Structure 1
Amino acid sequence: MTKISIIVPCYNQAQYLPHALQSVLDQTYTDWECIIVNDGSPDNTEAVAGEWITKDTRFKYIYQENGGLSSARNAGITIAEGEFILPLDADDRISTDYVVLAIAEFKKDSCLKVVYCKAEKFGDETGEWLLPRFNLQRLCIQNLIFCSGIYRKSDWKRVGGYDTNMVYGLEDWEFWIAILKDGGNVFRLDSTCFFYRVKGESMITVLNSNQLQISKEIVWHKHVAFIVISNEYLLNELSRQEKTYEIKLKSEKFIINLLTQKFFGFTLFKF
């Protein structure tokens, strides 16, 4: 079998951690390891992790001084033995068949870079988490894949891992752009295999507009060529859709103007 490494960073999420780890233990796919990364958490993460290490030797535990989510994921992936990586936040869960279904797809398509699935919310909000179908060009505008997509460790290594400068979130969006912008296939399973916990306060909800802007600017600086080219592609596609997309076309032109003005000092379109 092909080994997969499931990386579970934890910071102040010890109360939820057993639910995430149980969903790992319940996998029908058996060739896995699960690396719990204590990101300098002040709660009882170490004690909780210790119980699971005793329960099954496929669980592993490491500690680092608090460095943020990207740093914690990188620390776990660095020591991972699996060919494939599955990041799992400590407050989320996966279905029992997620890994086995994903590995089957990777075996079918050697050009496949990412496998993900349908998602469902639970906690303070319930119901299907509706995300637009993956499209490489649209990836430059918004994230289309949640954090727990499955990919090869070699691709993580190729792009230098998760960007530790992304301390204010959007690290998943930047990472997907990094590994996918030069090509490769993406497949979404037609099954709900990921369960996203919605809480009243989470990392993304507590960010202010300035912090989000900092994260977006990092993405734009790193991937400006891809973003500009992709927006031009979208504009060409939208222009063929006639008036139905007139408002969106103008919006996309506005985005292009913002990007070109920011990085090159000129605007492409006049309204």
Structure 2
Amino acid sequence: MELISIIVPCYNQAQYLDECLQSVLDQTYANWECIIVDDGSQDNTKEVANKWGALDTRFKYIYKLNGGLSSARNSGVSAAKGEFILPLDADDYISVDYLTLAMNQFNLNSNLKLVYSLAQKFGEINSLWELESFSLKKLAETNIVFCSGVYRKKDWINVGGYDVNMIYGLEDWEFWIALLKKGGEVYRINKICFFYRIKTVSMITSLNHSQKKEMIKYINIKHVDFFIEHLGTFYDLNNKINFEKKKTERKLKSKKYVLKLFLQTFFKLNIQIQ
């Protein structure tokens, strides 16, 4: 039974840590270690982490100066003894059978590079997280895999870990591109095994337009070969945009189309009012 190292970065999120670590302790797959990386927290993260370490020696605590999420994950993976890695943010949690189901797939298919699952949002929003089925083309368009997927440590080494230049977020999207763009299969477990906390304020919600634009630009430059392969050249994209623009203009000039659009909108509004 292969060892899985669960990496839990924590920056001032001690209030959520118990629920996260309880989900780790409850795993049906027993051969794991959980490395809690305190990324310079100013709350009682150390106290909470050490409580779990006293309860079960598979929980380990690391403190480092604040360096951001990529840096914290890299510190945890560097210290990991497991062949397999599962990143898990301190405010999220996993189902009791996630590790078992993931390892079943790795044991069935040696070509797998990543295993993840269906996901559920909870907190401010409670609903299924509707992510599109995996393809490299879809991954080129947007991130369709949450951060908590299982992969091999050797693959983390091969791609140079999480990119510490991703200081504003989207680091998991960049990592999945780096991990998968040169090959390897992906499997999504057809069961909700990951629970993603939605908060009023989080790293993602705090990401403003200019910061997001900067991160996307960085990813585009770093992985330009990947984006061209799956989305086409900038010339192709520009032609596609112009084609769609002209098609829309032709439709808007059509009286029949405009009338149809008006009637659809009118009846929709009328139904909502009633």
Provide, for residues 198-249 of structure 1, a one-character-per-residue CA deviation record: whole Å limited to 9, x for no partner: 001110001110100111011111100110110139xxxxxxxxxxxxxxxx
Change (3 A) 1:126 1:254: farther
TM-score under structure 2 length normalisation: 0.86
**In the alignment, which residue of structure 1 is the partner of 2:158?**
158
Aligned-partner Cα distance in 2 for 1:108–1:26: 24
Aligned-partner Cα distance in 1 for 2:22–2:226: 39
Aligned-partner Cα distance in 1 for 2:149–2:235: 31
Aligned-partner Cα distance in 2 for 1:218–1:99: 33
Aligned-partner Cα distance in 1 for 2:99–2:221: 34
Change (3 A) 1:30 1:160: same
**TM-aligned CA deviation for residue 54 of structure 1:** 0.3
**In the alignment, which residue of structure 1 is the partner of 2:111?**
111
**TM-aligned CA deviation for residue 255 of structure 1:** 8.1
1:256 counterpart = 2:237? yes
Change (3 A) 1:220 1:255: farther
Residue 136 of structure 2 aligns to a residue whose secondary structure is coil
Q: By percentage of residues, which structure has more helix?
A: 2
Residue type matched to 1:205 in 2?
Answer: T
Q: How does 1:242-253 map to 2 (within 5 A)?
A: none
**TM-aligned CA deviation for residue 32 of structure 1:** 0.1
Rg larger for? 2
**TM-aligned CA deviation for residue 22 of structure 1:** 0.3
Provide, for residues 15-40 of structure 1, a one-character-per-residue CA deviation record: whole Å limited to 9, x for no partner: 00010000000000000000000000
Residue 225 of structure 1 aligns to a residue whose secondary structure is helix
8 Å CA contact retained: 1:10, 1:38: yes
Provide, for residues 79-133 of structure 1, a one-character-per-residue CA deviation record: whole Å limited to 9, x for no partner: 1000000000000000000000000100000100000000001111001000000
Of all paired residues, the percent bearing the same amino acid is 59
**In the alignment, which residue of structure 2 is the partner of 1:196?**
196
Aligned-partner Cα distance in 2 for 1:205–1:268: 31
Residue 223 of structure 2 aligns to a residue whose secondary structure is helix
Residue type matched to 2:73 in 1?
Answer: R
**TM-aligned CA deviation for residue 182 of structure 1:** 0.6
CA RMSD of aligned residues (A): 1.6
Residue 182 of structure 2 aligns to a residue whose secondary structure is coil
Aligned-partner Cα distance in 2 for 1:221–1:132: 25
**In the alignment, which residue of structure 2 is the partner of 1:264?**
none
**In the alignment, which residue of structure 2 is the partner of 1:236?**
none
Residue type matched to 1:87 in 2?
Answer: P
Residue 134 of structure 2 aligns to a residue whose secondary structure is coil
TM-score under structure 1 length normalisation: 0.87
Residue 211 of structure 1 aligns to a residue whose secondary structure is helix
**In the alignment, which residue of structure 2 is the partner of 1:59?**
59
**In the alignment, which residue of structure 1 is the partner of 2:124?**
124
Aligned-partner Cα distance in 2 for 1:256–1:153: 36
8 Å CA contact retained: 1:37, 1:72: yes
Residue 35 of structure 1 aligns to a residue whose secondary structure is strand
**In the alignment, which residue of structure 1 is the partner of 2:25?**
25
**TM-aligned CA deviation for residue 256 of structure 1:** 2.6
8 Å CA contact retained: 1:228, 1:256: no
Aligned-partner Cα distance in 2 for 1:184–1:61: 32
Provide, for residues 38-80 of structure 1, a one-character-per-residue CA deviation record: whole Å limited to 9, x for no partner: 0001111001101000000000000000000000000000010
Q: How does 1:34-183 map to 2 (within 5 A)?
A: 34-183=34-183
Matched positions, count: 243
Residue type matched to 2:157 in 1?
Answer: K
Aligned-partner Cα distance in 2 for 1:269–1:127: 33
Gaps of 5+ in 1: 234-252, 258-266
Aligned-partner Cα distance in 2 for 1:7–1:33: 9
Gaps of 5+ in 2: 244-274
Residue 89 of structure 2 aligns to a residue whose secondary structure is coil
Residue type matched to 2:237 in 1?
Answer: I
Aligned-partner Cα distance in 1 for 2:90–2:232: 39
